A = this chain, B = another copy of it.
């Protein structure tokens, strides 16, 4: 039985992680922290959790280090930097769900997050925790930087074709639509029910912090420096993320052939489902699951090159956060990779 702790357990990511871990047959959750709710039963904050009598405790790292071997960090960025360092130095393994160890360049990190990175040497030990790309490295890594939700939906949608010569890698546009849980649980006027409900809007146009993360990974996969256009949108629903990805092509392609590229790329992946030709991913079909649904379309009517349109759907809290964290843990500890993650999406 692996002893695990969740640091920062009173947000939606932390609670979803706890929900998944409580069902995991190889794991025991030995501590969950929350500054706000320290001392409270988890079930007092999240009334759904009456199957556990765990209490939130404060973020006292010395005490915590004795309680677990693997730590999931759902802390704000910057706070994560030093917490990871402390735990790493104490010989612990860490899966960090913040952005602090995702960006390999401390300089780019500082530019987008407005704070320096104080542990550049640790950055080198961290792996970007996207199992479909880095499974083998994750297996041996002491620090796993769990991907952001938008990057997850974008990278899975693009990875299979980034090295193809027919792709104009300078043309990529990612138009994403996210449920509201991505904004977190803290009270905030723009995320009040009556503000979000019955409305859709774009936000952080040309400025969202997930941009350098997406670019880093697309560049890594393609072997070339890639810049993207990325526009997130807020949708009146709890969960779910749909990315519509536009890629201009340099040569004409056969759609069936491109779909085959995707099927081959993900052939052995338990959580990526390339849909039938013409089928449309809907976030409802992945909600509550660790699946990513992909569908590939081709627009041949274009004035310039043909346009490939890739639609990707995930649950932002599961495949986009806590589900992938569990998947990473499974890989790190040699558990069957799908353990604890095989739930089908409920319908409706």
Contacts and interface: CB of A to CB of B under 8 A. Distances in A.
Interface string A181-202: 1000111110111111111111
Contacts of A186: 189
A175 to B, nearest CB: 4
A283 interface: yes
Interface size class of A (residues with CB under 8 A): 35 or more
Main secondary structure of the interface of A (DSSP, over half): loop
Contact of A193 (B19, B197, B229, B286): B197
A88 interface: no
A54 to B, nearest CB: 12
Counting every copy of the chain, the complex holds 4
Interface centre among A16, A177, A199, A303 (most CB of B within 10 A): A199
A342 interface: yes
Interface string A234-260: 011111101010100000000000000
A233 interface: yes
Interface of A: 12, 15-16, 19, 22-23, 46-51, 169-171, 173, 175, 177, 179-181, 185-189, 191-203, 205-206, 211, 225-227, 229, 231, 233, 235-240, 242, 244, 246, 273, 275, 279-289, 291, 293, 297-304, 307, 309, 311, 313, 317, 342-348
